[in-house]
Chains A and B, each alone.
Chain A
C-alpha cells in the first residue's frame, strides 16, 4: 500500500543515497587540497614575503629582470602552438575522413605518444639532434655541420613534438562530430569544396581548434624541461627561471613564487579569453 509516509520514506532514502555518493569524491578532494590547493597557498605566501618572513611586494618587481625571458616564452609557445596547429589541423581533417575502423587505429597511434614519458622523448630528441646525431650526420654528407641542439629550432621542435596529440585530438573530435547533412546542404546551395571548407567545416571546428590552442599554449608557456635539455644556455624560458629559483644556483623561492604567480595569471587570462570564445562559439 502506498501511503504518504512510505513515499516520504522512499524519497528520504533516495536523498541519503545521493549524499552517500558524494562521499566517493572525497579522496580526490583531499588529494586536490593537499597537492594542489595547499601548495598554491604556500606559493602565494612565499610570493608576498621575504626571507625574514615579512610582508613585501618586491618579489613581483623582480619580473623586470626576466622580461626578455618572459617575452621569449610567449614567442616560443606561440610559434610552437601555431606550427602544431598548421600540422595538426590537416592531420585531424585527414583522420576524420578515414573509415570508422581506420580512424580508431590512427587515433590510437596519435595517443600512443602520450603513453611515453615525455622525458624519454626529450632524451631521444637530444640524441637525434646532437652533433653525433642522425640529423647532423646526414648534413655532414653534404659537408654541412650544424647540430640543431641548443638552438631555438630545437626548442620549437621539442614543443611541437609534445603538443601535436593535444592539438590533433580536440580538432579531430569536433570534425568527426560534423553532420554530413550540413555539408551536403552547403553543397546543395552551390558551395564548392573550398567554400564548404572555409564557410562550414572550419567555422564549425573552431571550438576544437580553440581548445587545441589552450591545451598546447599553456603547457608550453610554463615548460622548462624542453628548453633546458634542448635549448642550451641562450634559450632560457620562464619555466626554467622558476626552476632555478627553487632548485638551482639562484635559490630564491620568494621571487620564484612571485614569477610563478605572474605566469599563472597570464595563463589564466589567456585561457579565459579562449574559453569565452569557445563558449560564445558553441552557444551562438
Chain B
C-alpha cells in the first residue's frame, strides 16, 4: 500500500519534472509601462518546447512589447523572464539564445545573402567550414541555394523574408520570434510563405513565437493562440478551442464573426434569449445568471419564417465569393448569417439554431462594448457619439 503511494508520488514527480523541462520559456508577472500608459499588466505565459505560439491582438494590445521583452530589447518594469529554467530578465539581447525575424526583415544592406545568413555564425567565431556548411543548409531550407551571392537589396518581399528566416535559424536558436512576419507580403505570397514557414518549423522542431493582428494567420499556423487585449491575456488555447469556445465577448468578436446576444441561463443545458428558450450543451452556470450567447454566422440555417425559432427581415445581402453574408433584423438586433443561398433585401426568413451551435460565455467588461451587426456607418456614428460624450 505504502509502496503504491510512493510509486504514484514518484510518477507525479516525474510528470512535474517533465513539465518543467517542457517549458522553454515562462513569463512571470510581467508588468510594463511607458510613461503613464500601462502596456502589460501582470502577464503570465508559459511556452512549451517545439510549439508554434501566436500572440494575437489589435495594434496597441502589447503583443510586440512582449516579443521585445523576450528578445531582450526591453526590460520589464516588474516580473521575470525564465528561459530553460534560468532567469534571463537582465541578460542583454546578444547573449540570449533567441533570434528574431523582424517585421520589415531588417536585413543588412551591405552584405549579400550568404553573409547575411552567416552573420551570427561569424560573430560566434565558427570555423570557415562550419559556416559554409550551415549557410548552405539554411539556403537549402528556404530554397535560395542558387542566390547565395546576390545582394539583398533587389530581392522581392518573399525572398527577403526567406533570408530573414534563414538568418534567424542559422545559429540554431532554441526559440525564434517573429514580429508580424507576413505583414509586408501580398495575400497570395502570404499564404505560400505561411505554409513554408509552418513546414520549416515542423522540420526543425524549434519553438516559434509569432506576433500578429491577423486572426486567420493565427488560427491556421499556431499550435497555441494567445489572444491579447489592453495588455491582458484574454484567452490561451489551441485555435479550435479559441474559435469554438471563446471565453468572452472580445475573443468571440475578434476571432471570426459572431452574433453575441444577451441571454439568461435558466438551468443547465437551457438558455433563454430573444424571449425564447433554447436547448444548449453548456452547464455550470448559476440559475438565472446573465450570460453572453455566441452563435457563429455560418452555423445558422435559413428556414421558412414559421419553421424557425426566430424570424426577421433581410436588411443587406453581400456576395463574398464562397458565400453570401446577409444581415437580418430581428426586433432591432442585427444578426449576421453566412449562407450559400441568395436572399433579397426585404425577404422575411426564419433562423434555425441547433443546440450545438450555441456557445455560452460569462459576462465580461466587453459585453456592453460589442454590439450587433449594424452597418458600418451606424457603428461609426455611434462611436463618434461615444467620443463626444
A→B interface (CB under 8 Å): 179, 181-182, 184-192, 195, 199-200, 203-204, 281, 284
Contact = CB atoms under 8 A, between A and B. Distances in A.
Name A's interface SS: helix
Given A189-B123, A199-B119, A284 B110 contact: yes
Q: Which of A186, A188, A190, A199 has the most CB of B within 10 A?
A: A188
Contacts of B153: 284
Nearest to A191: B123
Contacts of A200: 108
B106 A185 contact: yes
B110 A190 contact: no
Contacts of A199: 119, 122-123
B93 A188 contact: yes
Given A199-B119, A199-B123, A284-B151, A188 B99 contact: yes
A284 to B, nearest CB: 6
13 contacts: A181-B102, A181-B103, A181-B104, A182-B107, A184-B106, A185-B100, A185-B106, A187-B93, A188-B94, A188-B98, A188-B99, A191-B119, A199-B123
A221 to B, nearest CB: 29
B123 A188 contact: no
B108 A185 contact: yes
Contacts of B4: none
A266 B71 CA distance: 52
B94 to A, nearest CB: 5
Contact of B71 (A188, A190, A192): A188
B171 interface: yes
A204 to B, nearest CB: 6
B312 interface: no
Given A184-B102, A284-B151, A189 B110 contact: no
B167 interface: yes
A182 B106 contact: yes
Interface string B98-129: 11101110111110000000011011100000
B73 interface: yes
Contacts of A281: 110
A182 B167 CA distance: 13
B171 A190 contact: yes
Contacts of A182: 106-109
Q: Which of A184, A187, A190, A191 has the most CB of B within 10 A?
A: A190
A182 B154 CA distance: 17
B333 to A, nearest CB: 47
Interface string B247-291: 000000000000000000000000000000000000000000000
Name B's interface SS: mixed
Interface in B123-164: 123-124, 151, 153
B108 A187 contact: no
A204 B109 contact: yes
A283 B331 CA distance: 66
Nearest to A195: B123
A175 to B, nearest CB: 14
A189 B120 contact: yes
B180 to A, nearest CB: 12
Given A190-B171, A199-B119, A284-B110, A185 B94 contact: no
Contacts of B103: 181
A203 B109 CA distance: 10
A190 B102 contact: no
Contacts of A187: 73, 92-94
Contact of B120 (A181, A190, A204): A190
B33 to A, nearest CB: 21
Contacts of A192: 94
A195 B119 CA distance: 11
Q: Which of A189, A200, A203 has the most CB of B within 10 A?
A: A189
A203 B171 contact: no
Contacts of B95: 190
Given A190-B94, A192-B94, A185 B102 contact: yes
Contacts of B71: 188
A179 B105 CA distance: 11
A183 B193 CA distance: 26
A195 to B, nearest CB: 6
A191 B110 contact: no
